[in-house]
Structure 1
Amino acid sequence: MNEELYGPRDRERLVPEPPKRVDAPTRAPFERDRARVVHAAASRRLAAKTQVVGPQSDDFVRNRLTHSLEVAQIARDLARALGCHPDITETAALAHDLGHPPFGHNGEDVLDELAQSCGGFEGNAQTLRILTRLEAKTFRPDGDSVGLNLTRATLDACTKYPWPRPATGGKFGVYADDQPVFEWLRDGAPARRLCVEAQVMDLADDVAYSVHDVEDAVVAGSIDLTWLDDAERRRPVWETVRSWYLPHAADDEFDDALRGMQAQESWPSTSYDGTRRSLAALKNLTSDLIGRFCGSVQTAMVTEFGAQPFVRFDADLMVPRQTLVEIAVLKGVAAHWVMKSDQRREIMGRQRELLAALVEAIADRPERLDRQFAGDYARAGDDAARLRVVIDQVASLTDASAMRWHERLINPGT
């Protein structure tokens, strides 16, 4: 497991912890980190948060928790193959979506608009806030929460965007009031560079949702992979891939990527029909695609650097262009036929209205906050800090609890 490649600074925690009882099970620091994320309340809430389609809509479709478990499995296997610590990488994968609010990326967008005066909202920055502040586990002597008190190496692996909010907008990994803990966990790290464990987590996330979102949509009847045999039906899909993921790629490159995946024996030649055999064939396809993508990265790393363990900042992950395009093609297929559908856009509009109304209702009457957030609100020093607490509260809700809160606060008695 290459435990010896990680030094005392990698294992350091914000608040030093005494050794466990001698009769307690002996676990290494990174194993303990993993256990803390698994048992966190924020992890349990992922079971009722949207991945692409709301978890209440279908018994088969993935939610944020099942997605995170699948990302963790892919990340752990790839980490083991590359020689970085599987516990660190798996923990980062388990934690990577903790900061997502109700209704997935749609909820993230509306909360970002509403939180402009306190620094915006970003799911990855919210994940860091949960791990180091909001999740109840460990406190400093002065009474301030440090969240789960994870090790430096694990927190850094959870940091997908290791920089504050850019003035020009875009993804970021830390809010201004969480900057001190961010500087602690990034101490000694190259500016804006992800550790290799974070890069593995990020790739595992891309791989998982590229294949699993398509699988869910095929089972739901929203996508038929044989549609891609028709050049006319592919053209608008490639436009979606270009506008969402690879703006400078040409149709020929997308066609080549599709042909590469279609060359696999498990790629379907007929439509999904709902039988057990058809479902098994679809599962074999997703397994083959995951193996194809991860295998290409492992081969590229060995070719570039030789067979050696990759730890922290020893190297950057090598993802072949062909693999990047194939992943983008699958994501674009799901985006075009699921996320851009008229029905989906109508649902998203209602979700945005609901979250905006919740933020306004709680900001107007902060006594509605849950007790843990009420304490944060009482300690907040200005309007921006108070709004951040309201955003924290709403972001913590699941899809179902957000709807219940809306019914209770906005439409009581209806």
Structure 2
Amino acid sequence: MRRDDARVPGYEAPDRERWLPEAPKSAARGDFARDRARVLHSSALRRLGGKTQVVGPGTDDFARTRLTHSLEVAQVGRELATSLGCDPDVVDAACLSHDLGHPPFGHNGERALADAAAAIGGFEGNAQTLRLLTRLEPKVVDPATGRSAGLNLTRASLDAATKYPWRAGEGPAIPGTGGADDPDAGTGRSTRKFGVYAGPAGDEEVFAWLRRGAPHHRRCLEAQVMDLADDIAYSVHDVEDAVVSGRLDLGVVADPGQRRRVGEISARWHGLAPEAVDEALLRLAATPAWVGRVEPGTRSRASLAALKDMTSQLVGRFVDAARRATQEAHGRRPLVRYAADVVVPAGTLAEIAALKALAALFVMEAGDRQPEYARQREVVAGLVDALSTGDPAALEPAYAADLAEAADDAARLRVVVDQVAALTDTTAVAWHARLVRGTGA
């Protein structure tokens, strides 16, 4: 056991196992710290700097990208992990990993790729994350087979990064956790999200390995911390970005009609009663830090400072509520792996959902964004078609090699989907101009 792993009790030898055994390294860093470093230095993480969070990269220097969002999720997750007693490096690695599988154009691009890959099991950002961590991201290669093992993370870190530990169509309904990611959550239907691709070109073997000994469909505590940190970060920060971009005036919370519209979105996405969302918005607006009087688009230092203070206090409010509730349920002992579940009060879940829906109403579902969304889907679909039928040399070298080794049409399509998913927003547009429209460099 490495020295820094020894600081957190409860992790056993199987938790530190890697898919491919590696020779012992310096004891200066533990296995989990090494996992975090591998994700931090990965090319997949760097690419997130060019992928949409809410507004596209390059359209606003203030707004978050997938990369900055992931860094903020990691900070929130690490804080909560430390307070609960689970390994902060495991949670940090999972938080940094959680969006690696997202394609260009965020969830809009994800839907377009899901349609393009429908015949081979679809596309899902979380399943793509597992594929990147265990296959696509270059770090460790099996010397016996020449096959990539991706970053070859420990079982504990891979399990912590697995937000949806099931195959497509096997997941339960998950009220309160779907948001813009999953409009079916809370409706009684099985969530559309899943964590592993099935079939010959899928990743079921490594998925079975990382889930060895885990309860069926249950997420480990560290994955729950990652998921909550993601919800907290994007619920609060998407609202901040919406205000600074000029799309949202927080004063709308005083309008019963606008609160009703927010409640309708939250009911559709999260299965929450509109009354609960209404009450949550009024509670948030009554907090001392709420900046309902800051005009949208204002970027003076004073207004930005007030807004930043609000976001900081909201993050602290949600983290503290979850920490207190979890410790009341399980005690103050270190909580790791499957020894406990994160407990989030119903009122806190409603407040997080209300903020998500507030940003969705004024940004994601805004009418002026719909033509842009349509163009983005055309870019993604056009790239899949062009790369499926065109010169294999058009792919990046690693994916061109995967294409040459693919055994059948389904495997070849999966490689093309892997390639398109890896592109940043700007690169996807440039490739589309060159390969589909016949213009550009």
Letter in 1 for 2:284: M
Q: 1:119 aligns with which of 121, 138, 150?
A: 121
Task: Determine if contact 1:133/1:146 at 8 Å carries over to the other structure.
Answer: yes
Structure 1 equivalent of residue 46 of structure 2? 44
Structure 2 equivalent of residue 18 of structure 1? 23
CA-to-partner distance for each residue in 1:198-234, whole Å, 9 max, x for gaps? Answer: 0000000000000000000000110011111011222
Q: 1:277 aligns with which of 280, 292, 302?
A: 302
Q: 2:268 aligns with which of 223, 227, 243?
A: 243
User: Counterparts in 2 of 1:130-279, with a 5 A limit?
Assistant: 130-140=132-142, 141-166=144-169, 170-176=192-198, 177-245=202-270, 247=271, 249-272=272-295, 273-279=298-304
Letter in 2 for 1:127: T
CA, structure 1 residues 269+49, in 2 after alignment: closer, same or farther (shift >3 Å)? Answer: closer
Structure 2 equivalent of residue 307 of structure 1? 332
Structure 2 equivalent of residue 402 of structure 1? 428
Q: Find the residue that maps to 2:14 and give its secondary structure.
A: helix
CA distance in 2, matches of 1:7, 1:169: 32
Q: 2:103 aligns with which of 88, 101, 104?
A: 101
CA distance in 1, matches of 2:331, 2:77: 20
Structure 1 equivalent of residue 404 of structure 2? 378
CA distance in 2, matches of 1:302, 1:186: 26
CA, structure 1 residues 81+404, in 2 after alignment: closer, same or farther (shift >3 Å)? Answer: same
CA distance in 2, matches of 1:150, 1:126: 16
Task: Determine if contact 1:138/1:147 at 8 Å carries over to the other structure.
Answer: yes
User: Counterparts in 2 of 1:46-125, with a 5 A limit?
Assistant: 46-125=48-127
CA-to-partner distance for each residue in 1:94-117, whole Å, 9 max, x for gaps? Answer: 000000000000000010011011
Task: Determine if contact 2:43/2:137 at 8 Å carries over to the other structure.
Answer: yes
1:263: Cα distance to partner? 2.3
Letter in 2 for 1:209: Y
1:85: Cα distance to partner? 0.4
Letter in 2 for 1:365: G
1:269: Cα distance to partner? 4.0
Aligned residues: 409
Q: Find the residue that maps to 1:126 and give its secondary structure.
A: helix
CA-to-partner distance for each residue in 1:127-154, whole Å, 9 max, x for gaps? Answer: 0000000000111121111100100000
Structure 2: tracts of 5 or more residues without a match: 171-189
Structure 1: tracts of 5 or more residues without a match: none
CA distance in 1, matches of 2:410, 2:395: 16
Structure 1 equivalent of residue 416 of structure 2? 390
1:36: Cα distance to partner? 0.3
Structure 1 equivalent of residue 8 of structure 2? 3
CA distance in 2, matches of 1:378, 1:275: 55
**Which is further off, 26-35 or 404-413?**
404-413
Task: Determine if contact 1:228/1:234 at 8 Å carries over to the other structure.
Answer: yes
1:365: Cα distance to partner? 1.4
CA distance in 1, matches of 2:60, 2:381: 26
Aligned-residue identity in percent? 55
Letter in 2 for 1:216: D
Q: 1:358 aligns with which of 383, 399, 408?
A: 383
Q: How well do the aligned residues superpose, as a CA RMSD in angstroms?
A: 1.3
1:412: Cα distance to partner? 2.4
CA, structure 1 residues 255+408, in 2 after alignment: closer, same or farther (shift >3 Å)? Answer: same
CA-to-partner distance for each residue in 1:288-309, whole Å, 9 max, x for gaps? Answer: 1001101011110121111111
Task: Determine if contact 1:366/1:374 at 8 Å carries over to the other structure.
Answer: no
1:332: Cα distance to partner? 0.3
Task: Determine if contact 2:260/2:278 at 8 Å carries over to the other structure.
Answer: no
CA distance in 1, matches of 2:302, 2:169: 50
Moved over 4 A (4+): none
Letter in 2 for 1:211: V
TM-score by length of 2: 0.91
Task: Determine if contact 2:253/2:282 at 8 Å carries over to the other structure.
Answer: no
CA distance in 1, matches of 2:274, 2:39: 42
CA distance in 2, matches of 1:189, 1:413: 51
